[in-house]
Amino acid sequence: MDDWQSWAALGVVLVTAAAMIWRAIRNQKAGGSGCGGSCGCGSKIKVKPH
């Protein structure tokens, strides 16, 4: 990894992975339903029985 592009690509991958892990942890703490905000989107999802 002698060129700057390889380091830049590695940086992008690491930042993206960190963001995904951060979101997964936040969603798990929020109970895993909806967006975690107070909009009630988790309670709006309705599943039709087959």
* pLDDT tens track for 26-48: 877 766 555 656 676 666 666 66
What pLDDT score was predicted for residue 40? 65
C-beta of residue 41 within 8 angstroms of C-beta of residue 47: no
Whole-prediction pTM: 0.55
* pLDDT tens track for 13-26: 999 999 999 988 88
What pLDDT score was predicted for residue 13? 98
CB-based contacts of 14: which residues, under 8 Å, 6+ apart?
A: none
Structure tokens at 6: 């390889």
Side chain identity at 17, as an amino acid letter?
A: A
Structure tokens at 38: 């107070």
